[in-house]
Amino acid sequence: MSTHDLFDPTDEHRALRSMVREFVLREVDPQAQASDRTETFNVPLFRRLGDLGLLGITVPERFGGGGMDAVAAVIVHEELSAADPGLCLAYLAHAMLFANNLQQNGSDAQRARHLPDACAGRTIGGMCMTEPSAGTDVLGMRTTAARDGEFWVLDGAKMWITNGAVSDTELGDVFLVYARTGDRGTQSLSLFIVEKGCPGFRLGQKIRDKLGMRASTTAELVFEQCRVPAANLVGAEGDAVGHMMRNLEIERLTLAAMGLGIARRCLEVMNRYARERKAFGSPIVEFGQIQKHIADSYAAFMAGRSYVYQVAGALDLVRSGSRIDSDGVKLFCSTMAKQVADSAIQVLGGYGYVAEYQVERLWRDAKLLEIGGGTIEAHQKNIARDLARIGSI
């Protein structure tokens, strides 16, 4: 597969891809199957991403980050997810949902306090939005925050939180938590920094037996009269919906990039297998049914890859305005990745149904992309509404 300037627009991007791909082959790929089997978040390997300067890829250098753009973020997510989407999901929650979110919406004091450790991998962060009874319906969240002198007091629970736990019993280190600070409405949500050890903040449960993304820990987090310093309010009270919308664009773009990594690896596996496996005296790549799986998968992958990198090249991390296409790339690439993985399993037959060739794991991992970070139904709704509003394409 040839590389085009759209995918590596500068020498810096090209060097980044080369570095991450070498790291993935050397350190990520060998442990992926075991981490999936044991449902283990490989924390030492995750911290190695900090050594490589990847954990704050979009954070300015003065706060310990890489100071790079959305294209760079896409490159890292594509390369990591080609071997271990579970580890990549943990990376996304930390680097995009926590570090990039705080960089874009926090104060310099908050950035200086939290981002250097996050970028170095000394702390592991995440973001808390979804609740047991509120997912896509963000305004239905019930977690509340009430001012009490120099503190905010949080009460409620968050569900399906990536990096919510780093082991069976231990919380992640620091989170951005959305909570209601007024009556139901777009101006009633606020964002808070909550650290492990804060009184009233505890791990509810680590979620087990997930279909996929098992190398990424998912947890329920509980806030019971959790007292957070007033200085931990991010931005102004009631501003969190704007924060959320801005960060959703890079979240959905990088989730789409994860779909690219999954699809690319599955395509590579089925192509290699089809050349080597013989049936009725010929390599199965010579049979039309197999050719259809490979050709359709390649075309879909390249269509998605071109779309993702086009959107990444135009994305402004500082302000929102790309919702229609951040929804579009995730809508297309999430389902595309699952379909390409499904084709790979079909080409490999029985061998595709077991762990040896990785595609069954990638197929399981791909399904989450149609749910997390916005369901495909939510993307369809958003795109249709935006097209109706703008009236032309």
Q: Which residue has the tokens 């790929």?
A: 29
Q: Please say whether the beta carbons of 166 and 203 come within 8 A.
A: no
Q: Please say whether the beta carbons of 251 and 320 come within 8 A.
A: no
Which token pair is 129? 């939005």
Q: Is 27 a catalytic residue?
A: no
Which token pair is 43? 């924390």
Q: How far is CA 122 from the centre of its chain?
A: 20
Catalytic residue among 39, 251, 360, 370: 251
Distances (CA, A) of 13 to 3, 42, 73, 85, 358: 12, 26, 10, 21, 28
Beta strands, E only, the chain: 125-128, 144-148, 151-162, 174-180, 189-195, 201-206, 218-229, 233-234, 278-279, 282-283
Q: Which of the 8 DSSP states describes residue 2?
A: -
Strands 201-206 and 189-195, by their bridges, are unpaired
Catalytic positions, written as ranges: 251
